[in-house]
Chains A and B, each alone.
Chain A
Amino acid sequence: MIEFKNIQIKFDDFTAIHNLNLEIKEGEFFTLLGPSGCGKTTTLRSLVGFIKPTNGDILVNGERINDIPVERREIGMVFQSYALFPTMNVYENIAFGLQVKKYKKDEVDKQVREIASKVDLNEEQLFKKVSDLSGGQQQRVAIARALVLKPKILVLDEPLSNLDAKLRKQLRVELKKLQSQFGITSIYVTHDQEEALTMSDRIAVFNKGNIEQVGTPKEIFDQSKTEFVCNFIGDNNFLQPSFLQRIKNECNVAIDPTTTAYIRPGKVTTKVLDATQYDVVVEGEIVEKEYHGISSKVTYEIGNQRIANMEMEDHSNDYEVGSRKKIAFQIADILTY
């Protein structure tokens, strides 16, 4: 549905986006993920039309939209600060776009109320000042305001970034629910990998104006294509050459000890019932235990290699620091670069 073709975006002589190629499908919840300053917002704004790419084409439904003005692109946007008009109340904020489009008064009213009930804003809240709303309510107003115009695409630029952790988690769910309820193609920008992994259908990981990897959350996590993606998403155990050499010798696996290699904590197991099932089985000493509630992060030392693992606190793992255990993993789970 949306296609970025060879997009380059320059600010004076600084190139924010180098050569972007990306395709987003109809109805998808697509996330642009990356550290701050990598060009996510820039990409998004070029789609919405606030920025003109210096090179390349942006296509929507196969149609080039580079030169279509912002207001005709039918792309709704939810801003990082929500950008609610402070001088208007909730109702007026939502009605703004419809009034601009010169809808009849009763039509405006009907639509505003319809969308308000869909995002769970009640009558009383409709006539409140926006500054009197909670963060979550403000977000719903912002979304309602964008959706009331029935856009083809909804874009959201870090809409949760200035909320507290609990609210963020809660709104994540709501947002996703709203999106699937409306079934609208959405592009979501965030620097929070957890947010990206939980909400998205697909993710594009950005780094310094380039896309490192595009894929489903599982692909991104399990098969991180580049070292950057691997490090940016989730925890990691860096495997030292000496350790690689050791398992190559001891377990007789085919691995080049000179490569950069990682293994994710979740990919390691300590419940080795049948050692032949695993490519690598070694013994290590528990040197650290970090309690997280449901689970704990347990760190093992094998020679001078440390490997951390997440283990459930279900009494099957009640080992003390200092005890020794067997740990095992599959060679296919080692990410090499």
Chain B
Amino acid sequence: MQIQNKYKLKNKLYIFAIGIVLSWACIAFLIYPNINLLITTFFQDGGFTLEPFEKLMSSERAMRSLWNSFILAVALVITVNLVGLFLVFIMGYFEIKGMKFLRFGYYSTLIYGGIVLVAGYQFIYGDVGIITNLLLSIFPNMNPNWFEGFWAVLFVMTFSSTSNYVIFLLNALLKVDYQTIEAARNMGATNFQIIRKVILPVLKPTIFALTILQFIGGLGAFAAPQIVGGEFKTITPMILTFSGIVSSRDLAALLAIFLGLASMILLAIMTKVESKGNYMSVSKVKTNLVKQQINNRFANIIVHMMAYVLFVLYTLPVVLIFLFSFTDSKAITTGKLTWDSFTLENYMTVFTDASAYQPFLVSIIYSALTAVIVVGLILYIARLIQKYNNKWTAMLEYILHIPWMLPSVLLAMGLIITYSVPNTMMFHKVLTGTLGILLIGYIIVQLPFVLRMLKASFYSIDTSLEEAAKNLGASNLRTFFKVLLPIILPSALALVALTFNSTLDEYNLSMFLSHPFYQPLGITIQNSTSPESLQDTRALTFVYTVLLMVISSIVLYLVYGRGTKAGK
């Protein structure tokens, strides 16, 4: 009896301590700074005013940008689903010649993203780009600035978002029980009917979740509209502009709230649909998917052609960036190559000049720390949520979604405004000007995505495994590390890789929070793509981009490449 009480007390103390620490962290990093920001912006002169609201409502441009953001989000949902589904089916379902090789192309946007990717596309399709030059030599009268505006933004964003989409959907596709497909064929269903009636319904929940993520991504689009948008303006660049003007921050905050509300509504829908738990697989023994031949010759040719065209579209930027990273700045600005253009100088500079390679090291360290900490933390929290399914953990989950509802610029501003002066919440430690604040920022923005993904993996574990371990006398800790973690590990590692890669070239947070001495790569790259930059820094950008791709590829290989091999 006494022993039991002792355990009970110990357990209670532990939960109490965890509760305190988590509450503090949630309030200090996720709630208080944002509320503080809202208060300081909306109650500037002592009283609350609706003035910023009126300003925005009467601003044609702000309303148009908002409208554009929504249009972009909707369009993106359509294009990403079309391209993404096509890719998923040719990668996982149909027999396509050369797919082993093609799929690397389709995954290429996993190894670079954000500003780097858009700059790469701009470099190829922009007014002095290779493709533009090529097209101009055929159609001399065409507009060299053809790659600008809505369609350009949509094009770039479609390609940059599909790789992620494909990863998750392909995973879902591979979980389809092949016997159901054969059963349908046996009953006379055509390929098309099988896809529509048997496979798509199974994929539907995943498609739905990914669609909502796309929508939120489209709403918050930054790099693409900024660089190739031209007249097509969206909301996030505007938020960025206003957040740079102290007196206009209320507008930035308000615009962000618009976006936040939209995201919140969508997330609520998503959670609702998810909780309905669409269906449960009934297969106890599942057979693996076997690739299908497309029987119609004509369709087969068309599909192959589309597959290869997409491959070219995906790989062209990568190949050209790689190529041009070895050329002098003249070749880069004019987009014209000669044999003399090639040089190793750019690489020499990056590897020998400390100021050139430092951003790289800084970004790698920050990203690695972010990835490991976020995934580690969320592993713990997701487990907590799964184990103690009560109103506190439900609240914790909602709070951890806050970063999805606010643009990162706003999160950064909240941190700055709140912790640029000694604050009790942070034990009077000033965070601005420290190295830690950027890490905190990076971690915060990654929380929701990692949480969603890890939670899903935890819930997919057969509960009897845990019970079996406990029954055999394993402690909680042991059960977690020896039984649960090994099952979760592939997902966790994949998330480490994705988090790492997406943090590498982060710009928005970095701009606000980075320590001036240790500027991460995103800043360096953005600076060198700005029109004022001297030309040789543009060449360096290409080297950075190539190196980024190499690192990201290595990370992905370590996680996925080996994973698939082990799977076979």
**Co-complex (A, B):** yes
Interface residue ranges, A against B (CB under 8 Å) = 48, 50, 70-72, 75-77, 79-88, 96-97, 100-101, 129-131, 138, 145-146, 149, 162
The verdict on A50 contacting B202 (CB below 8 Å), with A81-B284, A87-B279, A131-B282 known, is no
The smallest C-beta distance from B46 to any residue of chain A, in angstroms, reads 58
- With both beta carbons as reference points, the residue of chain B lying nearest to A74 in the complex is identified as B188
The reply to whether A138 and B282 contact each other, CB–CB distance below 8 Å, is yes
Complex contact B279–A131 (CB within 8 A): yes
- Interface residues in B267-299 (C-beta closer than 8 Å to A): 278-287
Given A79-B182, A96-B197, CB of A84 within 8 Å of CB of B282? yes
Instruction: Say yes or no: A100 contacts B187, CB within 8 Å.
Output: yes
CB < 8 Å: which of B183, B193, B280, B281 contacts A77?
A: B183
Which residues of B are found within 8 Å of A83, using beta-carbon distances? 177, 179-180, 182-183, 283
CB closest residue in chain A, given B197: A96
Residue in A101, A130, A138, A162 whose CB lies within 8 Å of B188: A101
Cβ of B189 < 8 Å from any Cβ of A? yes
What 4 additional pairs, Cβ within 8 angstroms, besides A96-B187, A131-B281? A85-B180, A85-B197, A85-B201, A149-B188
Contact indicator A131/B182 (Cβ below 8 Å)? no
Residues of A within 8 A of B198 (CB): 85, 87
Give the shortest distance, in Å, between A192 (CB) and chain B (any CB): 16
**A87, B187: Cβ atoms closer than 8 Å:** no
User: Contact: A77 with B282, CB < 8 Å?
Assistant: no
Determine whether the beta carbon of B179 is less than 8 Å from that of A80.
yes
Set of chain A residues within 8 Å of B189, measured between Cβ atoms: 71, 96-97, 100
Q: Is B187's CB under 8 angstroms from A50's CB?
A: no
| B10 on interface, CB distance cutoff 8 Å | no
Assembled-state Cα–Cα distance A48/B285 (Å):
20
Which residues of B does A touch, CB under 8 Å? 177, 179-180, 182-190, 193, 197-198, 201-202, 204, 278-287
- Measured CA separation A100–B192 after assembly (Å): 11
Q: Which residues of B contact A131 (CB under 8 A)?
A: 279-282
Residue pair A87, B186 in contact (C-beta under 8 Å): no
Q: Which 7 A-B pairs have the closest CB atoms?
A: A97-B187, A87-B201, A83-B179, A71-B188, A83-B183, A131-B280, A81-B283
CB of A107 to closest CB in B, whole Å? 16
Q: For A149, what are the chain B residues with a Cβ–Cβ distance below 8 Å?
A: 187-188
Q: In the complex, A77→B283 CA distance in Å? A: 16
With contacts A81-B283, A81-B286, A87-B279 known, is A96 near B184, CB below 8 A? Answer: yes
Find the A residue at minimum CB distance from B193: A100
Q: Residues of B contacting A145 with CB < 8 Å?
A: 183, 187
A-side contacts of B201, CB under 8 Å:
85, 87-88
Minimal beta-carbon separation of B407 from chain A (angstroms): 36
Contact of B285 with A71 in the complex, beta carbons under 8 Å: no
Residues from chain B with a CB closer than 8 A to the CB of A76 are 186
Q: Does the CB pair B182–A77 fall under 8 Å?
A: yes
Q: Name the CB-closest residue of A to B202.
A: A87
- Tell which of B182, B188, B202, B284 has the most Cβ of chain A within 10 Å: B188
Nearest chain B CB to A212 CB, angstrom units: 27
Most buried by B among A79, A88, A138, A145: A79
A138 to chain B, nearest CB (A): 7
B residues within 8 A CB of A81?
A: 177, 179, 282-287
The docked-state distance in angstroms from the alpha carbon of A203 to that of B318 is 61
What's the least CB distance linking B196 to chain A, in Å? 11
Cα distance A101–B204 in the bound complex, in angstroms: 25
A141 to chain B, nearest CB (A): 10
For residue B290, which residue of chain A has the nearest CB?
A: A50
Taking the closest CB of chain B, its distance from the CB of A16, in whole angstroms, is 15
Residues of B within 8 A of A138 (CB): 282
Residues from chain A with Cβ under 8 Å of B283 in the complex: 81-83, 86
Across the interface, name the chain A residue whose C-beta is closest to B295. Answer: A69
- Compute how far the CA of A199 lies from the CA of B285 in the bound complex, rounded to whole angstroms: 24
Whether B279 contacts A129 by the Cβ 8 Å rule is: yes
When the two chains form the complex, which single residue of B179, B190, B197 contacts A79, counting CB atoms closer than 8 Å? B179
State whether A86 and B187 are in contact (beta carbons under 8 Å apart), knowing that A77-B182, A81-B286, A100-B193 are contacts in the complex. no
Which residues of chain A are within 8 angstroms of B185 by Cβ–Cβ distance? 50, 70-71
Q: State in angstroms the CA–CA spacing of A86 and B189 once bound together.
A: 17
- The CA of A270 and the CA of B185, in the complex, are separated in Å by 57
Q: In the complex, what residues of A have CB within 8 A of residue B188's CB?
A: 71-72, 97, 100-101, 149
User: Roughly how many angstroms separate A138 CA and B282 CA in the complex, as a whole number?
Assistant: 9
Contact between chains at A79 and B183 (CB < 8 Å): yes
A197 shortest CB reach to chain B, Å: 24
